[in-house]
Structure 1
Amino acid sequence: MVALDIVHASNARLRELGPGLVALFVGGTSGIGEFTLKAFVQNTASPRVYLVGRNVTAADRIIKECGELNKEGKVEFLKADVSELKEVDRICKEIQKREKKINLIVQTQGNLNLNGRNENPEGLDRKFTLNYYSRMRFIHNLLPELRTASTEPPNFARALSVLGAGHESAMNLSDIDLKTTFSTTRCATHTTVMNDFMAEEFAAREPGISFLHSAPGLVNTGVARELPLLLRGVLKIATPLLLPFYVGANETGARQLYLSSSAIYPPAKPTEGAPLAAGVPFPKDLSVSKGSNGKVGSGGYLANWNGEIVGKEKLLSDYRAQGLGKVIWEHTMEVFQKVEAINEGKIDPATS
């Protein structure tokens, strides 16, 4: 476990990366995304932040509070329902009109509803899309801006997906997108493992950028409002008993920001001669983390809420030997191509 004082000390050094860092927070209008966004604004010099979500009222509040944390920062809200990739593409184009580089992408979008498969107009389940497809689409679309950030001072570029690293279990490889065998449990399993392997796959293809998949721990985010009434009641009763195990809002934001910026999680090949390309320097008694593929400093990392490297090693190793990373990559790119054709009116999602 990375001590909290080390986390705070590291975050306080973010200003050393210089003014004008550009960050994108998707799902940042509540919970973990909001906590991390505020920590980023508070610890950086004149940042430019894009906040993507659905709740205008929450966004207005967050922007006001960020202004009190850092008067030199700028936070702009972009309203979107990113359970549809068409909306992801629209937001990416909006950002690309305004920015040539993006230093950091943090994604926390998702929901806790226990409904069955709920397909969007693109033929994808909305929960699955929030947990996985939309996250990979943002990264895929904005790779040019991440690459630019990695090649221009401070040469820092990173993408963090907050979901369930370390909570892997076996997938149904004959139905990767759960078109016919969907359940909320299987959705959690598939999207967790797929986030794992895509961090690894992106890192192998983009050695100047760090890619992380993290688990936030037990955090009271308010997302339980989407649960059925009975479960909400049970959770309300259980919450006082769980409080000792909760990670508080401020600590959650600080720790996810640490994952987003520490040189303990460097890209595979940081820009030479750029001391901050790997991230904020760490104390001498710490060392660079082991990547998801077992190699130290690989550029793709699976981390727990407390900064420790996680992942079901036996399961992931067996899947890696089967070439699952390549399978997931190819599946994802095929889905993107199909959705592009659907949104261009070239094919009917009902027959695809």
Structure 2
Amino acid sequence: MTSLSAVLKRNAQSAQEIVTLSTAANPTVGVFVGATSGIGENTAYAFAKYTPYPRIYIVGRNVDAGNRIVAKLQTINPNTQATFHRHDMTLISQADAFSQTVLEQEKKVNLLFLSPGFLALSGRTESAEGIDTKMAINYYGRWRVVEKLLPLVEKAAESEENARVVSVLAPGTEGPVNMNDLDLKHNYSLFNVNRHFTEFNSLAVVRFAQLYPKIGFLHAGPGIVNTGIGRELPWYVRVAVKPFTFFATRPQDSGERFFYIAQGSPDYRTGSHIIDGNFKSLKEKFTERGYLTPQLQETVWKHTEDMFNEALAKSSK
């Protein structure tokens, strides 16, 4: 496990290394989807802290939180250009709307950081576009933004600048999925849905890293972090898990650790990485078990594209 002190040292060093690349005329662009609390919020703060001239997009549903974060980012670094964009990533049409904004305003994206999510014990709940909201927020919405903005991330890579895509979720539970019911319309359970969107994220990371070899793709686990993600759980569940918060990482420390993998450390600059909260690689284990095969990658991505098309067809009616 890399110590927090080593992470802080390396992050500070990275700021010195990009000082000639990050300028007022060429700001370093970070897109933080699901960043109105917790890990996304605090990683954005670290991004502003260590980047000489950052341009930051904060995406979420809470306008008050978004405006508060934008204001704080500008106090952390007066050179920060930060904006909040209200979008619901359970909707593919909203993912497209936000992506179009970035495509119109930017020539490159250095970091695409995806951490939207919520914890709920409810069963399948479909969005207006017909996708289960848990699967949409944890997979479909995220990777629609990735698909749309990858040309801009590739532009950063071509200029030999940092170019990474980080999906924060729960690597470690990859395994067999229901190939006859990938969107779980008929076999839904909390176990199945968590298995599916975890497996899908890892498959996407490996697939896109092969297609874009100059970009780093990560599926990263946070470990136990004291965030507000469980605020929608029933009170009795919140009480039951409260003792575990004594062992949790502070959100600001988690932000430093995620900045380390998102920009600070050169170890993740290219290739695919599936890592836990201690930076331990899990990819080899799941590759050996046959959960990341090229056939699976293509089958699940074809399904993903079909879901995108069906969702957009419903939203246009």
Identify whether the pair has TM-score above 0.5, normalized to the shorter chain.
Answer: yes
Q: Which of 188, 198, 210 is equivalent to 2:194?
A: 188
Q: Tell me whether 1:59 sits opposite 2:75 in the alignment.
A: no
2-side partners of 1:233 and 1:155: how far apart? 45
* 22-31 vs 327-336, which moves further: 327-336
The TM-score, its normalising length taken from structure 1, stands at 0.84
In the alignment of these two chains, the number of paired residues is: 309
Question: 1:200 — aligned with what?
Answer: 206
1-side partners of 2:106 and 2:157: how far apart? 14
2-side partners of 1:316 and 1:310: how far apart? 10
Q: Tell me whether 1:330 sits opposite 2:315 in the alignment.
A: no
Question: 1:162 — aligned with what?
Answer: 168
Q: Deviations over 1:203-250 (max 9, x none)?
A: 1111111110000000111121100122123234x24xx41x211212
Q: Which of 262, 266, 272 is equivalent to 1:263?
A: 266
Question: 1:110 — aligned with what?
Answer: 117
Q: Deviations over 1:245-303 (max 9, x none)?
A: 21121220011111112211132xxxxxxxxxxxxxxxxxxxxxxxxxxxxxxx11101
2-side partners of 1:39 and 1:144: how far apart? 25
Determine if contact 2:206/2:292 at 8 Å carries over to the other structure: no
2-side partners of 1:98 and 1:31: how far apart? 27
Q: Which of 231, 234, 244 is equivalent to 2:240?
A: 234
Q: Which of 294, 300, 303 is equivalent to 2:272?
A: 300
Amino acid at match of 1:150: A
Amino acid at match of 2:217: F
Q: Which of 242, 248, 251 is equivalent to 1:249?
A: 251
Determine if contact 2:116/2:138 at 8 Å carries over to the other structure: yes
Give the deviation of 1:321 after TM superposition. 4.8
Q: Which of 134, 137, 157 is equivalent to 1:130?
A: 137
Question: 1:37 — aligned with what?
Answer: 44
The TM-score, its normalising length taken from structure 2, stands at 0.92
* 257-266 vs 2-11, which moves further: 2-11
- Match of 2:269, SS state, is coil
Determine if contact 2:57/2:85 at 8 Å carries over to the other structure: yes
Q: Deviations over 1:119-148 (max 9, x none)?
A: 112110111000000111010000111111
Question: 1:276 — aligned with what?
Answer: none
- Match of 1:319, SS state, is coil
Question: 1:49 — aligned with what?
Answer: 56
- Match of 1:211, SS state, is strand
Change (3 A) 1:209 1:315: closer
Q: Deviations over 1:84-119 (max 9, x none)?
A: 011000001111111111010001101101111111
- Match of 1:264, SS state, is helix
Question: 1:318 — aligned with what?
Answer: 290
- Match of 2:268, SS state, is coil
- Match of 1:7, SS state, is helix
Change (3 A) 1:123 1:255: same
Question: 2:222 — aligned with what?
Answer: 216
- In structure 2, stretches of 5+ residues that fail to align are none
Question: 1:82 — aligned with what?
Answer: 89
Amino acid at match of 2:14: L
Pairwise CA RMSD of aligned residues?
A: 1.7
Change (3 A) 1:312 1:172: farther
- Match of 1:213, SS state, is strand
